[in-house]
Amino acid sequence: MQNWDGSAALMAESFDAQRAIELHAWLVIAMAATLAGNFTLVGSVANLIVAQRAKARGVEIGFWSYFKVGAPLTVVTILIGLAFL
Protein backbone atom coordinates (compact mmCIF):
# COMPACT_ATOMS: atom_id res chain seq x y z
CA MET A 1 0.00 0.00 0.00
CA GLN A 2 1.33 3.41 -0.95
CA ASN A 3 1.68 6.08 1.73
CA TRP A 4 -0.13 9.21 0.50
CA ASP A 5 1.01 12.40 2.14
CA GLY A 6 -1.22 14.86 0.31
CA SER A 7 1.52 16.23 -1.95
CA ALA A 8 -0.66 15.71 -5.02
CA ALA A 9 -3.39 17.80 -3.43
CA LEU A 10 -0.88 20.53 -2.60
CA MET A 11 0.40 20.50 -6.18
CA ALA A 12 -3.14 20.78 -7.54
CA GLU A 13 -3.90 23.63 -5.13
CA SER A 14 -0.71 25.42 -6.16
CA PHE A 15 -1.63 24.95 -9.83
CA ASP A 16 -5.11 26.37 -9.22
CA ALA A 17 -3.65 29.39 -7.42
CA GLN A 18 -1.22 30.02 -10.28
CA ARG A 19 -4.05 29.81 -12.83
CA ALA A 20 -6.10 32.31 -10.79
CA ILE A 21 -3.17 34.74 -10.70
CA GLU A 22 -2.68 34.39 -14.47
CA LEU A 23 -6.39 34.92 -15.13
CA HIS A 24 -6.40 38.03 -12.95
CA ALA A 25 -3.36 39.39 -14.80
CA TRP A 26 -5.04 38.86 -18.18
CA LEU A 27 -8.21 40.56 -16.96
CA VAL A 28 -6.22 43.58 -15.76
CA ILE A 29 -4.38 43.80 -19.10
CA ALA A 30 -7.61 43.50 -21.08
CA MET A 31 -9.36 46.15 -18.98
CA ALA A 32 -6.44 48.57 -19.13
CA ALA A 33 -6.02 48.13 -22.88
CA THR A 34 -9.71 48.74 -23.48
CA LEU A 35 -9.92 51.80 -21.26
CA ALA A 36 -6.58 53.21 -22.45
CA GLY A 37 -8.20 53.86 -25.83
CA ASN A 38 -9.87 56.84 -24.17
CA PHE A 39 -6.54 58.39 -23.16
CA THR A 40 -5.98 60.34 -26.40
CA LEU A 41 -7.89 61.19 -29.53
CA VAL A 42 -5.77 58.76 -31.56
CA GLY A 43 -6.04 56.00 -28.93
CA SER A 44 -9.03 54.47 -30.66
CA VAL A 45 -10.47 54.50 -34.14
CA ALA A 46 -13.87 55.22 -32.61
CA ASN A 47 -12.50 58.46 -31.14
CA LEU A 48 -11.29 59.54 -34.58
CA ILE A 49 -14.64 58.72 -36.19
CA VAL A 50 -16.54 60.76 -33.61
CA ALA A 51 -14.11 63.68 -33.99
CA GLN A 52 -14.49 63.55 -37.77
CA ARG A 53 -18.28 63.50 -37.58
CA ALA A 54 -18.26 66.32 -35.04
CA LYS A 55 -16.05 68.38 -37.35
CA ALA A 56 -18.51 67.81 -40.20
CA ARG A 57 -21.16 69.38 -37.96
CA GLY A 58 -18.97 72.33 -37.05
CA VAL A 59 -17.60 71.09 -33.73
CA GLU A 60 -13.80 70.94 -33.58
CA ILE A 61 -12.29 68.38 -31.19
CA GLY A 62 -8.53 68.84 -31.07
CA PHE A 63 -5.88 66.55 -29.65
CA TRP A 64 -5.17 68.64 -26.55
CA SER A 65 -8.79 69.49 -25.80
CA TYR A 66 -9.58 65.77 -25.94
CA PHE A 67 -6.49 64.92 -23.86
CA LYS A 68 -7.55 67.29 -21.06
CA VAL A 69 -10.65 65.16 -20.55
CA GLY A 70 -9.46 61.77 -21.81
CA ALA A 71 -6.31 61.43 -19.72
CA PRO A 72 -7.84 62.03 -16.28
CA LEU A 73 -10.93 60.04 -17.19
CA THR A 74 -8.80 57.08 -18.28
CA VAL A 75 -6.73 57.14 -15.10
CA VAL A 76 -9.84 57.28 -12.91
CA THR A 77 -11.67 54.49 -14.78
CA ILE A 78 -8.61 52.21 -14.67
CA LEU A 79 -8.26 52.79 -10.92
CA ILE A 80 -11.95 52.03 -10.42
CA GLY A 81 -11.60 48.92 -12.56
CA LEU A 82 -8.59 47.74 -10.55
CA ALA A 83 -10.61 48.15 -7.37
CA PHE A 84 -13.27 45.80 -8.76
CA LEU A 85 -10.83 43.23 -10.10
Q: Residue 45's closest CA among 57, 37, 53? A: 37
- Provide the pLDDT for residue 4: 59
30 near 22, Cβ under 8 Å? Answer: no
Q: Residue 38's closest CA among 47, 28, 29? A: 47
This prediction has a pTM of 0.69
Compute the mean pLDDT over every residue in the chain, rounded to the nearest whole number: 88
Q: Residue 40's closest CA among 51, 31, 29? A: 51
* pLDDT reading at 24 higher than 80: yes
For residues 15-37, give the mean pLDDT.
90
* pLDDT reading at 7 higher than 90: no
